[in-house]
Amino acid sequence: MTTASPDNSLRSVYDGAFAGIQQCVQSFSAQLLPREVGSIVSVSTGIARINGLQNVGFEELLVFPGGLSGITFNLDEDGVDVVLLGDYAHLHAGQEVQRSGRVMDVGVGDALLGRVIDPLGRPLDGLGRVLTEQRLPIERPAAPIMDRAPVTEPLQTGLKVLDALIPIGRGQRELILGDRQTGKTAIALDTIYNQRDKNVLCVYCAIGQRASAVAKAVANLRAKGALAYTVMVVAEGNEAPGLSYIAPYAATSIAEHFMEAGRDVLIVYDDLTHHARAYRELSLLLRRPPGREAFPGDIFYIHSRMLERATHLNEARGGGSLTALPIIETEAQNISAYIPTNLISITDGQIVLSPSLFELGVLPAIDVGQSVSRVGGKAQRAAYRAVAGDLKLAYAQFEELETFARFGARLDEETRQSIEHGKRIRACLGQAEFSPVSVPAQIAILLALNTKLFDPVALERMAAAQQAVEEAANALADELRTRLSGVDKLTDADREQVSAAARQALAAFSSTDNAAPGAKTAIEKTP
């Protein structure tokens, strides 16, 4: 028996390999793909003028030298105007520009949770690349009306004044507006923090904010454990205006991916004032006709088409929801300015913050009289409606009486008691930042307010009294706490049980001398 020599075996392997290579070379046919290339004519602040791209489409993504991206905005006969998305200091006239053949998109998926990214999907937290398996265009049509369902589920913020008086439903658009430094972002961050263990994902979009403010928000959410279910999309104030313009659209597409997967999502736009100003800057640089306050005529459309994407999908579409909390900055409490009135007409209600309340230390500084929720009442729990139904009216009456009493008017005993009761309502609605109150505790506090159990408590002891009622509510039987948090109405037995717990907790705070000095005199002057 003869065996093949090693040389013959090796030769056969090489022959087979070369035969395969030759077959691949013979079967290969080179293909020439046409590539449309243009050149830069001029570069200005965040804008580039391009010619040579005859077939480019509106809002198509273009690739500039150095990997810089841009979006086509103006399509003219002699060229196109492009909004640049990043640092453009290295660009100059004559450089080559290529078409990408696609519109601007962003990576979506669970890999974004807990990350801080820019509108292009690039990481800003130093934790490495964000690996996503799917990309969605930043501009997408809103869900059709027939695919939407009524807003029936509340989005608990953990803030007593909101959950009781200005409730927000899952799928609602609730505007937050107020002057600078009145606590708008604090309300949004409190709401995000309260979604912990409630199966709600959050997207926080910072538009034109200072780097220090964004870093503080990230640090607070990380310290509270809320960053794990939150995506941070950041376009800082020193970035190109194009990034500020696309930031909320990219954040909305990220949130929509979770919504279409059947999940409940909360998105915060902080804030759309900077977004409108960035679009105004781009429009004026593109020589589009200015209108009121130099804003272009389509300023309403850029916000409406974005906020219309927030909704509650029906069961056939997965039953997910997207709740939007856009933030707007007013000047001298002028809510009738152009951008605030636009957004008030787009959204389903507004939360108005008052600088005067903020200066008095009433936090959150929400003006209950001007704030409204046009949807949330339908989604509010029946137990809430039972204990908070008359609270808003009583608080509004107190504010009117308090203003009247400042003039040193002679007050009767009933009016004096109404003012004292109103002061305790205001004290109970106050709340520190990052200190959410559970649903059973809120119901216990509101029920004690309605039954005037807090009236004998001195104002300086109201914070401790509230804490005692909250602890008593958290110590209730699990079955009762489940019923309070559920959709069922508050029975007489449940009401009596909660009232008894609150009454027992407040027994140590009762005082016959409950009012401020001079409160029982005929003339009362409130600070």
Rounded to 10 degrees, the C-alpha dihedral 63/69/72/77 comes to -40
8 A C-beta contact, residue 339 and residue 328: yes
Neighbours of 404 (CB within 10 A): 13
Rg from Cα positions in the chain: 30
Measuring CA to CA, which residue among 496, 472, 489, 480 is closest to residue 384?
Answer: 489
Catalytic residue among 222, 277, 305, 374: 374
Measuring CA to CA, which residue among 88, 47, 116, 41 is closest to residue 279?
Answer: 47
Cα(337)–Cα(330) distance, rounded to whole angstroms? 8
- CA dihedral (31, 32, 34, 38) positive or negative: positive
Distance of CA 244 to the CA centre of its chain: 16
Give catalytic status of residue 374 as yes or no. yes
Token pair for 275: 């977004």
> Cα–Cα distances in Å, from 71 out to 35, 40, 50, 92?
18, 14, 11, 17
Measuring CA to CA, which residue among 300, 299, 323 is closest to residue 310?
Answer: 323
8 A C-beta contact, residue 403 and residue 510: no
Measuring CA to CA, which residue among 154, 170, 152, 197 is closest to residue 485?
Answer: 154
8 A C-beta contact, residue 34 and residue 53: no
Cα(136)–Cα(266) distance, rounded to whole angstroms? 19
What DSSP string describes 155-198? ---S-HHHHHHS--BTT-B-EEEESTTSSHHHHHHHHHHHTTTT
What DSSP string describes 440-472? HHHHHHHHHHHTTSSTTB-GGGHHHHHHHHHHH
Cα(116)–Cα(312) distance, rounded to whole angstroms? 26
Cα(221)–Cα(434) distance, rounded to whole angstroms? 10
Measuring CA to CA, which residue among 51, 144, 57 is closest to residue 104?
Answer: 57
Token pair for 104: 């601007």
Burial (CB count <10 Å: 0-12, 13-18, 19+), residue 435: exposed
Token pair for 361: 């230390």
8 A C-beta contact, residue 50 and residue 40: yes
Just list the catalytic residues.
Answer: 374
